[in-house]
Chain A
Amino acid sequence: MTQTDSAPAEARALTIIGFLCNWCSYGGADTAGVCRFKQPTDLRVIRVPCTGRMDPLFIAKALIKGADGVLVSGCHPKDCHYAVGNLYARRRLEVLKRFLPFMGIDERRFHYTWVSASEGQRWQQVVTDFSEQIRKLGHNPGVDGATRPYAGPGSSQPLKIIELARAL
């Protein structure tokens, strides 16, 4: 951690979490390092054996708890080290990606991709692009809302949302 939570928001570094599969993507990141490719330093890597191990809830929890972005990277489909792990993963992660916006979470904060162990340059591109995307989106406001209870008049809640709830 380079800075504490008490630093002003603009000065705070972005928190981007990367789940990398041990075989292809972690290897790809290593390759990028060995070749000394420069990339933004906001990404914090968590190594998992395979993207098939990824529970979509890891991503949901990270975003709800305030991570600015989450990246998942694995072997290319049909090249999974465990044969089929990433084939499970791509279904689950795509469902999650389409679901997040329904709950009011920006799905652009989550990205999943496939990077092989030899693709150091591609890894550099993925990290640079995603970090730039998150920088444009800014810090994650999280899901914590106004502390004023919604039962109260004078709540900042738009009337149409209150009426939508009543109509359901």
Chain B
Amino acid sequence: MVSASMYIAQDKLTTTLDELAKKFELWVPVAAMEKQRVVRFMPYQAGMEPVLAEQSGLGPKNALLPQVETLLKFSYRKDVDDPGQKRLQLEAPEPPKQALIFGARPCDARGFLIFDQVFSHGPYVDDIYTARRETTLIATLVCLDEDAACFCSSVGSGPADMEGSDLRLTPIAGGYVVEALNDRAQPVMEVLAEPASEIQLAAARKVQEEAAQRRVGGADLTQSRASFLKRFEDMGYWREMVSQCLSCGICTYVCPTCYCFSITDEMKEDRGERIRSWDSCMFYTYTAEASGHNPRPTRLERYRNRVGHKFGYFPEKYQGMIACCGCGRCIRGCPVSIDIRRVAENLKESSDACA
């Protein structure tokens, strides 16, 4: 009978991860050896030191929606009996392995909830994403590390929000208390060696309660749809707010909730792969049409679309769920420090002068 809560001491963390890696494809946040300030989720290898005391620059999005993913492989072979004909052979990708994302934050897990709406809830179900989702467990930290760019509470989440997670990791002095949040988590709990003591559990409860009380972020942004639609035509507003945008792709790439993709066939001679790759609504080509017309010709229209999607169109379609988790990565990563909170908050000002 596996205990409901276990404990991982800080100095036993890497050996625990070594054990978990035998059973799961393990994703952990690590600093690049050559550039210690770059922290991103990568497949774990023995000897890696996970970075759990600060938010990663690039979250675990790659674990469920890889930047480049093979949808199918194809090849044209000459028919032996009829050389004039070519037969098409298709090969489905390998089924996903059991995976565990260790050290996510509530904002990272929330991104996957948004993906689920789009990829798994129908009417068209994406088998590849769904298969990966079903075989992946998420162990999420109770977050104690907010900074000036964080705003998870403003979008309906919070530092203790465990929705969509399978395990809760609570940092206490000396280590982490690990709790299973559902039955799917049992295979992970079975690997852990040390049950949590009463004192450790009590310390964890205290941390969780404090985190649940803490509000991270300013004004509530969950009811912005109507004011967005009112502002849609007001190009003066968008010019005032986002003229400095460079129209690169950083915000969409680091965003846990951004899921737009391109599908391309990459061929060499008679064989190739159909791949899905991350696209960005900030790129000029995003809405470029085959006729040559582009309804979003400048960065102003494209940024407007980004805000509209996150705070307007997506909640309209998916029962009010905001397509933003308040992680602040877009703010930190933006080369010109555009603050999406400011753009969303000021939507409701009726005059065109904005702070």
Report if B122 contacts A (CB, 8 A): no
Flag if B48 contacts A152 (CB, 8 Å). Answer: yes
Tell whether, in the assembled complex, residue A154 and residue B32 are in contact, meaning their CB atoms are under 8 Å apart.
Answer: no
A166 touches B45 (CB 8 A): no
Q: Does A145 contact B (CB under 8 A)?
A: no
CB pair B46–A155 under 8 Å, yes or no, is no
Contact of A151 with B36 in the complex, beta carbons under 8 Å? no
Tally B residues with Cβ within 8 Å of A.
Answer: 14
Q: How far is the CA of A165 from the CA of B31 in the complex (A)?
A: 14
- Number of residues on chain A facing chain B (CB within 8 A): 13
Proximity string of chain B (4-16) to chain A, C-beta cutoff 8 Å, 1 when within and 0 when not? 0000000000000
Most buried by B among A148, A152, A162, A166: A152
A40 to chain B, nearest CB (A): 24
| Bound CA–CA A157/B42 (angstroms) | 18
Smallest Cβ distance from B191 to chain A, in angstroms? 21
Say yes or no: B47 contacts A151, CB within 8 Å.
no
Cα distance A161–B32 in the bound complex, in angstroms: 13
Chain B residues 26-45 with CB under 8 Å of chain A are 30-36, 40, 42-43, 45
Tell me the B97-128 residues at the A interface (CB within 8 Å): none
> From residue A144, how far is it (CB to closest CB) to chain B in Å?
14
Would you give the shortest CB distance from B20 to chain A, in whole angstroms?
16
Could you tell me the distance between the alpha carbons of A155 and B40 in the complex, rounded to whole angstroms?
A: 17
A8 within 8 A of partner (CB) = no
For A148, what are the chain B residues with a Cβ–Cβ distance below 8 Å?
45
Q: Which of A109-168 contact B (CB under 8 A)?
A: 148-155, 157, 161-162, 165-166
* Contact yes or no, B35 A165, CB < 8 A: yes
Which A residue sits closest to B40, measured CB to CB?
Answer: A151
List 22 contacting pairs A-B, 8 Å CB cutoff, sorted by A: A148-B45, A149-B42, A149-B43, A150-B34, A151-B32, A151-B40, A152-B33, A152-B45, A152-B47, A153-B45, A153-B46, A153-B47, A153-B48, A155-B33, A157-B33, A157-B34, A161-B34, A162-B34, A165-B35, A166-B34, A166-B35, A166-B36
